[in-house]
Amino acid sequence: MIAIIDSGGANIASVRFALERLGVDSVLTADPAVISAAERVILPGVGAAPVAMAQLARAGLVECIRGLTQPVLGICLGMQLLFERSEEGDTPLLGLVGGTCGAFDPGMGLTVPHMGWNRLLPQGEGRHPLLLGVEDGAHVYFVHSYAAPVSADTAASCSYGVDFTALVARGNFMGAQFHPERSGPVGARILGNFLALPAGGKG
């Protein structure tokens, strides 16, 4: 069973539809027991980091998420929440991946938010399992104003004025800054690769 954490994000419905197109059922939940028992977990999110972290804290989900051992995929803001801190409101995050998410600088001549299709560039030695069957430079869809820097945990980067982490992976925690559920066949392949990872959960 796939648990989608009910974080109040506006992209939840589109994530569920994307999973349905892949023939997979999911449950939308904020119940720590259901999330812990799931084979795989998706943390979606659109909006502001301070609001999202406050909502997770109110639901008693911060320690629940930190303790998960099954594959976890954060999407958009959900990916950023995996990091240590966000410059947005100087907000402490889940701390599962090292680094601070910072804002794009409009002073560089950039339109903010970064919105539209951009290229995925695999990083590191070997291709992460999420990228199996995905061509170098494949285009995916982004909508975001904050981004994480490239680090040793970056599985794929993207460039928008500066290079930033488009796909992160540290142990069982993974995150996509882009929206795989809105990225056509490439996004569907990445979601399919996530669903093919060995399942976990305490159920």
Domain presence at residue 107: yes
- Give the pair of three-digit tokens for residue 177: 């800054």
Residue 65 is which amino acid?
Answer: I
Domain presence at residue 203: no
The CA-atom distances, in angstroms, between 118 and each of 58, 128, 136, 157, 175 are: 35, 19, 12, 10, 17
- Residues 84/92, Cβ–Cβ less than 8 Å: yes
Report which of residues 108 and 141 the model is more confident about: 141
64 is catalytic: no
Distance CA 82, CA 77 (A): 9
Percent of the chain at pLDDT above 90?
89
179 is catalytic: yes
pLDDT for 183 beyond 60: yes
Distance CA 153, CA 112 (A): 25
Candidate list 64, 128, 158, 181, residue with the active-site label: 181
Domain presence at residue 148: yes
Q: Which residues pair with 3 in a beta bridge?
A: 27, 41
Domain presence at residue 176: yes
Interval 56-70: pLDDT, tens: 999 999 999 999 999
Domain of 82, CATH number, reads: 3.40.50.880
pTM for this prediction: 0.96
Confidence of residue 202 (pLDDT cuts 50, 70, 90): low
Interval 146-173: pLDDT, tens: 999 999 999 999 999 999 999 999 999 9
Phi, psi of 182, rounded to the nearest 5 degrees: -120, 15
Candidate list 76, 101, 114, 144, residue with the active-site label: 76
Q: What angle do CA 129, 64, 35 make, to 5 degrees?
A: 65
Residue 166 is which amino acid?
Answer: A
pLDDT for 52 beyond 90: yes
Domain presence at residue 201: no
pLDDT for 10 beyond 90: no
Helix 184-196 vs helix 12-21: angle between axes, to the nearest 10 degrees? 80
Domain presence at residue 202: no
Interval 125-152: pLDDT, tens: 889 999 999 999 999 999 999 999 999 9
Percent of the chain at pLDDT above 70?
97
Candidate list 114, 128, 144, 179, residue with the active-site label: 179
Total count of domains within the chain: 1
